[in-house]
A and B are shown apart, each in its own frame.
Chain A
């Protein structure tokens, strides 16, 4: 538990903002490009199929990995900045 209540709240807000940003990218790469927006991306060819197909079968997975590592890295910075990191 952080010592100061306002610091703790600021930390939690910063975390929520980061999560929201990451989840937008998460949804866009899978539900967006992979499913719902696929008809709009059909003009972009990727080796015998289209960009939407690639996102559904591979692109979304690569995006997910990048997102988790980005989040873990950012959170480590936040933990230190707000002084709530583990000893």
Chain B
């Protein structure tokens, strides 16, 4: 059977499973649609949160970026897990006690202002749409590979599938399908990693294999990798980074973004009790960690395997001939995500770092520039093929990548659609809208969000994980601070919250657009996105943490200059601090 047929079987079977569950659990009322009836067990909720959370960015893109950047990109690992600590301690239990459907509900009530609610809706939509762009990028890569089409066609197919899928279920469908998706994606991620770890180190646990001995050379795996990349002019894989400020801010942006992203917070409204919200965050992180402890191993092993494939006799000997390249390079060339150009016309594939420092060595070896461009987003999907694993493993990873992209895209679309239909239309424009009308508005807004994200996904402002990181920066700068102030301060008032959110959102979005293009439209950026141009070396990906500080400062300053919140609001704040008396989440 061909690889193509095997991919189809794996992807088809996993889809049939999700759609089956979605139909079985089809949402009836609006309560079901948004919070799954309020009765989901913490472990199940943790698993669904993990699937919702781990998107194309985690599954498809992250290990590729770590492989390319080494230690410097550990920021993704720490940032996307550390936010759960903030969520469990600073937000989830209190928002659960508050007991409303959505994040703008909380902000609107706590800051007794429909203006604050509207600003929150705007922040939420901007962050979520940016996030969906990242998902579409990743899903497009996965579809283009397994259907063997070019990446834009893959993206279109992804858009149609995501739409059908998200519109059908609502939250209830999504909670149970996401449990299934978690199982598919974790198996798909782990099995190839176990095989590869066994091949390279003899250790069946990839997370431990990372720090074990490389069987072939007898050196520690990471020392071997450092040596190989070094001989090709790259920085050491484990090398420390000079710009620690940027690394700290980037990690912090991802963490507060995790705690500020509405599609994750909304998960904690679905557990029965306040205590369960705390446990749920812990369980979610356990299930996430199963992938995140494996990811750094996948990254380093894939990098080593890739370089060994190109230089079978070691990096100081000749590279392989283009004519003799393995099949996986040929299939990925069809998608346009691997490109080869024989710059020195020797018929061999030279892959190395084209830096001024290495230029002399390269010239001595008769090299005329790096000849192979490998898109970082393909590394995880190509990993089993690079390691010569059996065809079914390749099919499995295609199914897993799609599960990751679809589950998150669906969760985000739900957050966007509920922000529009519930918070914007029902909350402000037309409070008397019928349940049917509300559901219809939710579905229309999903469709619009997908179209926008697909269009921008054709020329994404970065690799999937980087686009997603931008969304985190935006959420972290705008939503996280007001949620925190809403719970931990009785003094911050409506004017402070609105000014804070606007200041955080605008400073971050403008900083991003200046370097990456206005509304992410390519070519409209004012400055080239290079470290020399960044303010104090802070990359657009890291600016969310700065935006959050601005948000806090502005909110406190404005509140201090204006009146105290009314007595009943101060009492409301006090009441969310104590678990007793939490009912199930409601809409009113």
Query: Are A1 and B275 within 8 A (Cβ)?
Result: no
Query: Are B219 and A86 within 8 A (Cβ)?
Result: no
Contact of A12 among B211, B222, B577 (CB under 8 A): B577
Query: Are B77 and A61 within 8 A (Cβ)?
Result: yes
Known: A62-B289, A86-B273, A86-B275. A57 touches B77 (CB 8 A): yes
B71 within 8 Å of A (CB atoms): yes
Query: Are B251 and A65 within 8 A (Cβ)?
Result: no
Query: Are B278 and A71 within 8 A (Cβ)?
Result: yes
Determine the chain A residues whose CB is within 8 A of the CB of B160 once the complex forms: none
Query: Are A31 and B251 within 8 A (Cβ)?
Result: yes
For the complex, what is the distance from the CA of A48 to the CA of B220, rounded to whole Å? 5
8 A Cβ contacts from A22-39 to B: 22-23, 26, 30-31, 34-36, 38-39
Query: Are A1 and B574 within 8 A (Cβ)?
Result: yes
Query: Are B581 and A35 within 8 A (Cβ)?
Result: no
B24 within 8 Å of A (CB atoms): no
Looking at the assembled complex, report how far the CB atom of B546 sits from the nearest CB atom of chain A, in whole angstroms: 16
Q: Which interface residue of A34, A64, A87 has the most chain B CB atoms within 10 A?
A: A64
- Residues of A at the B interface (CB closer than 8 Å) are 1-2, 8, 11-12, 15, 19, 22-23, 26, 30-31, 34-36, 38-39, 42, 46-50, 52-54, 56-58, 60-62, 64-65, 67-69, 71-72, 75-76, 79, 83-87
> What 0/1 pattern do residues 71 to 92 of B give for CB contact below 8 A with A?
1001001100110110011100
8 A Cβ contacts from B14-29 to A: none
Looking at the assembled complex, report how far the CB atom of A12 sits from the nearest CB atom of chain B, in whole angstroms: 5
For the complex, what is the distance from the CA of A62 to the CA of B391, rounded to whole Å? 33
Known: A49-B220, A72-B281. 10 other contacts (CB 8 A): A1-B574, A46-B211, A47-B211, A52-B240, A53-B238, A56-B74, A61-B78, A64-B81, A71-B89, A72-B279
Query: Are B278 and A68 within 8 A (Cβ)?
Result: yes
B126 within 8 Å of A (CB atoms): no
For the complex, what is the distance from the CA of A58 to the CA of B207, rounded to whole Å? 8
Known: A65-B285, A84-B580. A58 touches B293 (CB 8 A): yes
Determine the chain A residues whose CB is within 8 A of the CB of B248 once the complex forms: 31, 35-36
Known: A36-B248, A58-B296. A47 touches B210 (CB 8 A): yes
> What 0/1 pattern do residues 338 to 359 of B give for CB contact below 8 A with A?
0000000000000000000000
Determine the chain B residues whose CB is within 8 A of the CB of A52 once the complex forms: 240
B575 within 8 Å of A (CB atoms): yes
Query: Are B88 and A68 within 8 A (Cβ)?
Result: yes
Determine the chain A residues whose CB is within 8 A of the CB of B226 once the complex forms: 48
Determine the chain A residues whose CB is within 8 A of the CB of B82 once the complex forms: 26, 30, 60, 64
Interface size on B, residues (CB 8 A): 52
Looking at the assembled complex, report how far the CB atom of B538 sits from the nearest CB atom of chain A, in whole angstroms: 15
Determine the chain A residues whose CB is within 8 A of the CB of B275 once the complex forms: 72, 75-76, 79, 85-86
Query: Are A48 and B219 within 8 A (Cβ)?
Result: yes
Query: Are A68 and B85 within 8 A (Cβ)?
Result: yes
B221 within 8 Å of A (CB atoms): yes
> What 0/1 pattern do residues 410 to 429 of B give for CB contact below 8 A with A?
00000000000000000000
B441 within 8 Å of A (CB atoms): no
Q: Please list 22 pairs of residues, one from A and one from B, whose beta carbons are closer than 8 Å in the complex, sorted by A's number.
A: A2-B578, A11-B578, A34-B78, A38-B240, A47-B210, A47-B220, A56-B74, A57-B296, A58-B296, A61-B285, A64-B81, A64-B82, A65-B282, A65-B286, A68-B84, A68-B285, A69-B282, A72-B275, A79-B275, A79-B579, A83-B580, A86-B580
CB closest residue in chain A, given B83 = A64
Query: Are B88 and A71 within 8 A (Cβ)?
Result: yes
For the complex, what is the distance from the CA of A7 to the CA of B582, rounded to whole Å? 19
CB closest residue in chain A, given B272 = A86
Contact of B88 among A1, A72, A86 (CB under 8 A): A72
Contact of A72 among B238, B247, B278, B293 (CB under 8 A): B278
CB closest residue in chain A, given B281 = A68
- Residues of B at the A interface (CB closer than 8 Å) are 71, 74, 77-78, 81-82, 84-85, 88-90, 93, 207, 210-213, 219-224, 226, 238, 240, 244, 247-248, 251-252, 273-275, 278-279, 281-282, 285-286, 289, 292-293, 296, 574-575, 577-582
Query: Are B579 and A47 within 8 A (Cβ)?
Result: no
Looking at the assembled complex, report how far the CB atom of B570 sits from the nearest CB atom of chain A, in whole angstroms: 13
Looking at the assembled complex, report how far the CB atom of B393 sits from the nearest CB atom of chain A, in whole angstroms: 24
Determine the chain B residues whose CB is within 8 A of the CB of A62 once the complex forms: 289, 293
Determine the chain B residues whose CB is within 8 A of the CB of A38 once the complex forms: 240
Query: Are A49 and B238 within 8 A (Cβ)?
Result: yes
Known: A49-B222, A49-B238. A86 touches B89 (CB 8 A): no
Known: A36-B244, A58-B296. A47 touches B212 (CB 8 A): yes
For the complex, what is the distance from the CA of A23 to the CA of B212, rounded to whole Å? 32
Query: Are B247 and A35 within 8 A (Cβ)?
Result: yes
Looking at the assembled complex, report how far the CB atom of B360 sits from the nearest CB atom of chain A, in whole angstroms: 29
Query: Are B580 and A2 within 8 A (Cβ)?
Result: yes
For the complex, what is the distance from the CA of A17 to the CA of B216, rounded to whole Å? 51
Query: Are A72 and B282 within 8 A (Cβ)?
Result: yes
Looking at the assembled complex, report how far the CB atom of B52 sits from the nearest CB atom of chain A, in whole angstroms: 17
Looking at the assembled complex, report how far the CB atom of B264 sits from the nearest CB atom of chain A, in whole angstroms: 14
For the complex, what is the distance from the CA of A15 to the CA of B577, rounded to whole Å? 9
Query: Are B296 and A84 within 8 A (Cβ)?
Result: no
Determine the chain A residues whose CB is within 8 A of the CB of B289 once the complex forms: 61-62, 65
Determine the chain A residues whose CB is within 8 A of the CB of B212 once the complex forms: 47
Determine the chain A residues whose CB is within 8 A of the CB of B247 once the complex forms: 35
Query: Are A30 and B251 within 8 A (Cβ)?
Result: yes
Looking at the assembled complex, report how far the CB atom of A28 sits from the nearest CB atom of chain B, in whole angstroms: 12
Looking at the assembled complex, report how far the CB atom of B47 sits from the nearest CB atom of chain A, in whole angstroms: 15
Determine the chain B residues whose CB is within 8 A of the CB of A68 once the complex forms: 84-85, 88-89, 278, 281-282, 285
For the complex, what is the distance from the CA of A87 to the CA of B273, rounded to whole Å? 10
For the complex, what is the distance from the CA of A62 to the CA of B290, rounded to whole Å? 10
CB closest residue in chain A, given B299 = A57
Looking at the assembled complex, report how far the CB atom of B461 sits from the nearest CB atom of chain A, in whole angstroms: 26
Contact of B81 among A12, A22, A61 (CB under 8 A): A61
Determine the chain A residues whose CB is within 8 A of the CB of B238 once the complex forms: 48-50, 53
Determine the chain B residues whose CB is within 8 A of the CB of A53 once the complex forms: 71, 74, 222, 238
Determine the chain A residues whose CB is within 8 A of the CB of B582 once the complex forms: 86
For the complex, what is the distance from the CA of A72 to the CA of B55, rounded to whole Å? 26
